Structure 1
Amino acid sequence: MNTLVVGASGATGRLLVEDLLKRGEKVTAIVRSTEKLSALLDNKNLTIVKASVLELSDDELAKHVHGCDAVASCLGHNLSFKGIYGPPRRLVTEAARKLCAAIVANKPEKPVKYVLMNTTGNRNRDLNEPISFAQKMVLVLLRLVLPPHVDNEQAADFLRTQIGQHHPTIEWTAVRPDGLTDEDSVSPCEIYPSPTRSALFNPGKVSRINVARFMAELITDNNTWNQWKGQMPVIYSREPENI
């Protein structure tokens, strides 16, 4: 299986690349710098494309997507003033649009999986996911002051409404982690169709390595994919008392 990963040099993206390579999968990573992937560069199954995904032409992107069974986006905004408020403000959304257009342009014989790393702070509007009035007010404020939050919402909405559930060449899943942490190894986790707690007032936690493992399983395991395709699963690391 061949997978294209964007955001591959990020904290979760590089763990996803590593997990896929350990499974013997072929990976193409689009990165602006290879520094954070230096430990993986000798792997014969890894192809590096040094570029910004939004700066690639449509033809170039279609070439890189050609032959891929899956595309995974771990893109996010740097937590700096420039990263939050500077261009591109719709990095995740525009990348999704360009990558999906590249998939369609290639006319694949079978649907390509698109796995988006999203956030539990974003609601799945295909479901009745009730939130408190206080959380609604905070989300209104976040949309006004934090462009990355709007970007995450619009990226998932693009998949929900523009790609939808019956696209001939693209199937998708938007993974919503809560409270990302850094751990050295995979641990038991729980996955739900919707949040089981408030992302703002009672957040859970999940390690980046657990998120990477779940995304890798979506890509490589058809049973996992068929369970969650067209959905926005929420992932939590299991709390110690529940293990």
Structure 2
Amino acid sequence: MTTLVAGASGATGRQLVQQLLNRGQKVKVIVRSPEKLPESWKSNENVLIISASLLELSDSQMSEHIKDCEAIASCLGHNMTWKGIYGQPRKLVTDAAKRLCNAIRVNSPEEPIKYVLMNTTGNQNRDLSEPISFGQKCVIGLLRLLLPPHVDNEQAADYLRSKIGQNNQLIEWAAVRPDDLTNEEEVTDYEIHPSPIRSAIFDAGKTSRINVGHFMANLISDDDLWDKWKGQMPVIYNKSSPK
């Protein structure tokens, strides 16, 4: 099985790639700065490194890169710098989702392609009408005004939820929502819920990046787990997080 990973040079993307490699899968990564990648990837025959800016690829290049992939995972995000937050591209995650999904349509694969998006608990799954407090609504409203990356995350998930939908013949999707991200060395016990069980603003839990990578890799490689969560926005917490 081959998976294309966008955002592989990021902290969570690296964890996902390594988890896929641990499962013996082949991985393609599209990165602007290959020199930042682990040396072990560069000599690994199961890793194909594509040196490019994803949004600058032509439509034909994009389609060519994914034509032999059974899954696509996006761990794209905005750097937490002034330029990363307020500079271009402001819709990195959303535009990448649109272009990758359009490339899938062009290729018209015989079997649906899995699209796994890393998202955030700060974004609601509007298919479930998830309740949030008035205070959280106010804070989220401010985030929409002040932080373009938050809007980008919302719009990327909404594109999959409303434009790709639940019955697409070419694309199946899941949007994984971690809570407050942490760095850990090892995979630990974690739990998955259809919706947040705590406030992402006022009572955030912890989710290690390696656990996010582990769960996303499991979604890609385990068809039974995929059938359980496809078309949904599962929330992941480290199990040690107190409720």
Q: TM-score, normalised by structure 1?
A: 0.98
C-alpha spacing 1:88/1:203, structure 2 compared with 1 (3 Å):
same
Listed as ranges, the matches of 1:48-67 within 5 Å are 48-67=49-68
Q: Structure 1 residue 40: deviation in Å?
A: 1.6
Distance 1:70 1:132 in 2: 36
Q: Structure 1 residue 241: deviation in Å?
A: 7.1
Q: Aligned with 1:142: secondary structure?
A: helix
Choose 18-27 or 85-94, whichever is displaced more.
Answer: 18-27
Distance 1:14 1:41 in 2: 13
Q: Provide the identity percentage.
A: 62
Q: Deviations over 1:152-211 (max 9, x none)?
A: 000000000000000010000000000000000000001000000000000000100000
Q: Is the 8 A contact 2:5 2:73 kept in 1?
A: yes
Distance 2:39 2:67 in 1: 25
Listed as ranges, the matches of 1:228-243 within 5 Å are 228-239=229-240
Q: Is the 8 A contact 2:3 2:71 kept in 1?
A: yes
Moved over 4 A (4+): none
- Partner of residue 7, structure 1: 7
Q: Aligned with 2:11: secondary structure?
A: coil
Distance 1:38 1:148 in 2: 30
Task: Look up the equivalent residue of 2:53 and give its one-letter code.
Answer: S
- Partner of residue 29, structure 1: 29
- Partner of residue 189, structure 1: 190
Q: Aligned with 2:9: secondary structure?
A: coil
Q: Aligned with 1:197: secondary structure?
A: coil
- Partner of residue 205, structure 1: 206
C-alpha spacing 1:143/1:169, structure 2 compared with 1 (3 Å):
same
Choose 37-46 or 153-162, whichever is displaced more.
Answer: 37-46
Q: Structure 1 residue 240: deviation in Å?
A: 6.6
Aligned length: 242
Gaps of 5+ in 1: none
Q: Structure 1 residue 22: deviation in Å?
A: 1.3
Distance 2:179 2:199 in 1: 10
Choose 76-85 or 231-240, whichever is displaced more.
Answer: 231-240
Distance 1:241 1:235 in 2: 13
Q: Is the 8 A contact 2:206 2:241 kept in 1?
A: no
Q: Deviations over 1:74-99 (max 9, x none)?
A: 00000000000000000000000000
Residue 141 (structure 2) pairs with residue 133 (structure 1): no
Residue 140 (structure 2) pairs with residue 147 (structure 1): no
Q: Structure 1 residue 38: deviation in Å?
A: 2.4
Q: Is the 8 A contact 2:205 2:241 kept in 1?
A: no
- Partner of residue 76, structure 1: 77
- Partner of residue 124, structure 2: 123
Distance 2:129 2:155 in 1: 18
Gaps of 5+ in 2: none
Residue 106 (structure 2) pairs with residue 105 (structure 1): yes
Task: Look up the equivalent residue of 2:225 and give its one-letter code.
Answer: T
Q: Structure 1 residue 39: deviation in Å?
A: 2.8
Listed as ranges, the matches of 1:145-184 within 5 Å are 145-184=146-185
C-alpha spacing 1:222/1:39, structure 2 compared with 1 (3 Å):
same
Task: Look up the equivalent residue of 1:163 and give its one-letter code.
Answer: I
Task: Look up the equivalent residue of 1:61 and give its one-letter code.
Answer: M
Q: Is the 8 A contact 2:2 2:25 kept in 1?
A: yes
Q: Is the 8 A contact 2:30 2:50 kept in 1?
A: yes
Distance 1:92 1:116 in 2: 9
> Cα RMSD between the aligned structures?
1.0
